[in-house]
Chains A and B, each alone.
Chain A
Amino acid sequence: MNKNDEELFVLISGRSTRQGTSLNESKFSKEYIEETGVVQICPEDMARLGLVAGDIVCLRADQRSINIPCVASKEKELPSGLLFMAYGDWSSRLMGSDTHGTGMPNSKGTDVFLSKVCSSKTD
């Protein structure tokens, strides 16, 4: 993937065990920040896009965007085209505020554009 090339993905945010356990210590704990501050991509998409664990990617939804390290998901957990983030500060930053009359913004299954920012090696 070249810099500034964007590809459309669908992002799911959700609970994970580690997000849950580290929450009890503090939302400022290293573990919580690590767990919620990373996006999971399926290994095939990682390979196809030339990404390795630790590379920083940009996720953009409408005008909102975050730069975040990526990591390959466990085998088969994600199909191609789907991203996962443990629910937290970072995933919420991509969420819009339109609730379509429900009070609930779309926070699972949202369209995001992914692009590569920099690789972990050169960082």
Chain B
Amino acid sequence: MQNELKVVSNATCTFCGCVCDDIELTVEGTHITKAKNACVLGKAWFLNHQGGDGPAARIRGKESTVEEAVEEAARILVNARFPIIYGLSDTTCEAQRIAVAIADWVGASVDTTTSVCHGPSGMAFQGVGEITCSLGEVRNRADLVIFWGSNPAESHPRHWGRYSTMPKGLFVPNGRKDRTVVLVDVRRTKSAPAADIFLQIKPRKDFEVLWMLRALVKGIPIQESDLADTGVTLEQLQNLVDKMKACKFGVLFFGMGLSMTRGKHLNVEAALALARDLNAFTRFYANPMRGHGNVTGADNVVSWQTGYPFGVNLGRGYPRFNPGEFTTTDTLARKEADAAMIIASDPMGNFSQEAREHLQGIPFIALDTKETSTTRAAAVSFTTATYGINVPGTVYRMDDVPIPLRPAFESPYPSDEKILHALEKKVLQLLREKLQAAN
């Protein structure tokens, strides 16, 4: 049995939002030795995969059984007055669905890493809508591809090759030759050499430049002086507008350069409105460059179960939505949350100091595939199996296309789904007991 050689075809890489599902894995026992078709990030994801090596569960740092840990976790959540559940972008939809259920039963806030990546894009979408498409539409039709505030060469290495700039498609039979590629960024990133046109704008001037583009598209005259301090000239913008109007199918891929910079949802609204306006002339789309493997699934699951995409509070017994109020950075930094469950995310390693300090002071549960600052500080921590490598399930690509996972080998650790399923059962039991005691 040991080191039996196995090939898994059509495996799905969940490292980034590209969710490439054409990976061919060679598996020797519990090691993946080859990951054909994977990019540098995907190869690292599969080949350097380090499943945890500690115990499956810990309570306050001490090894425990999974059952004991589930019971303690349930107690923490049920006894809390303002519990929060956060993370969720690096696990399957099946696990996400149970996590939202638990949030519902205990009256928690449920929020995903969307709130600190494209949450503002979600708010912009609520403002103006979004003209979007699946990535295959881009592959088959796009003759103008713009990346704005995104560095796919480093963050989504196969985006160009699989979806956006290189592939030959139905109406772009010559692939890259049939396309014009534009990059807009404040840095001359590693993506710049691949673009036909690079516009280097000044930091924090995205909104201004996008708004001027909207004006030019609508034929509203602007002056060179309107562009002061933006880093671009009127000629550059007019040239871009001419290309946008003349293309047959244009697409604007926007990254966190818009959503994380001052202005946030307003920056993204400007991008979405620009793409929308261009539909008076041609077909034009705007798509977010989503980061984590299943952050798009998290948005979908939270939306279909609660009606809102992230930052949802269930404390009153029904969903309420308010970014800034129920989003995790805020509930932690304002010291409102009194317990938490963190699933597949590391806020102790990437949140603001204030938020980290408060999280450290409250009892919280962490589920992760390996040790992080967050699992180290958790009252109850679970080591779980890795989705896509050990665990089957569903993930959504950045364009909302759902894709199944084909695991390579079994992990000695349980999946998030399994832990959460047991936790939901325990939570319901404790809630029933509480109700009976109250009566």
Binding site for B on A (CB under 8 A): 10, 12, 14-17, 20-28, 64, 76-79, 82, 84, 87-89, 92-93, 95-97, 99-109
Contacts and interface: CB of A to CB of B under 8 A. Distances in A.
B160 to A, nearest CB: 14
B120 A102 contact: yes
A78 B190 CA distance: 11
Contact of A105 (B203, B257, B349, B352): B352
B6 interface: no
B261 A106 contact: yes
Given A104-B119, A105-B329, A82 B324 contact: no
Contact of A82 (B203, B291, B370): B203
Given A14-B256, A103-B329, A109-B261, 13 more contacts: A14-B257, A15-B155, A17-B40, A20-B16, A20-B154, A89-B350, A99-B329, A101-B325, A103-B115, A103-B119, A103-B324, A104-B116, A104-B264
Contacts of A14: 151, 154-155, 256-257
Given A12-B186, A16-B154, A95 B352 contact: yes
A105 B49 contact: no
A10 to B, nearest CB: 5
Nearest to A21: B44
Contacts of A97: 329-330, 332-333, 351-355
Interface string B319-356: 00001110111101100000000000010011111110
Contacts of A64: 353
Interface core residue of B116, B259, B352 (most chain A CB under 10 Å): B352
A103 B311 contact: yes
Interface string B44-87: 11001110000000000000000000000000000000000000
Interface string B288-304: 00010000000000000
> Would you list the 8 A-B pairs with minimal beta carbon distance, nearest first?
A103-B327, A101-B324, A97-B333, A103-B115, A21-B44, A97-B352, A108-B260, A109-B261
B189 interface: yes
Interface string B18-51: 0000000000000000000000110111001110
Interface of B: 15-16, 40-41, 43-45, 48-50, 111, 115-117, 119-120, 123, 151, 153-155, 157, 186-190, 200, 203-204, 256-257, 259-262, 264-265, 291, 310-311, 323-325, 327-330, 332-333, 346, 349-355, 370-373
Contacts of A100: 264, 324
B349 A27 contact: yes
Contact of A84 (B157, B187, B332): B187
B349 A109 contact: no
A1 B102 CA distance: 55
A64 B356 CA distance: 13
Contacts of B117: 104
A25 B203 contact: no
Given A17-B41, A106-B260, A88 B116 contact: no
A47 to B, nearest CB: 18
Contacts of A106: 260-262
Interface core residue of A15, A92, A104 (most chain B CB under 10 Å): A104
A87 B257 CA distance: 13
Interface core residue of B117, B153, B350 (most chain A CB under 10 Å): B350
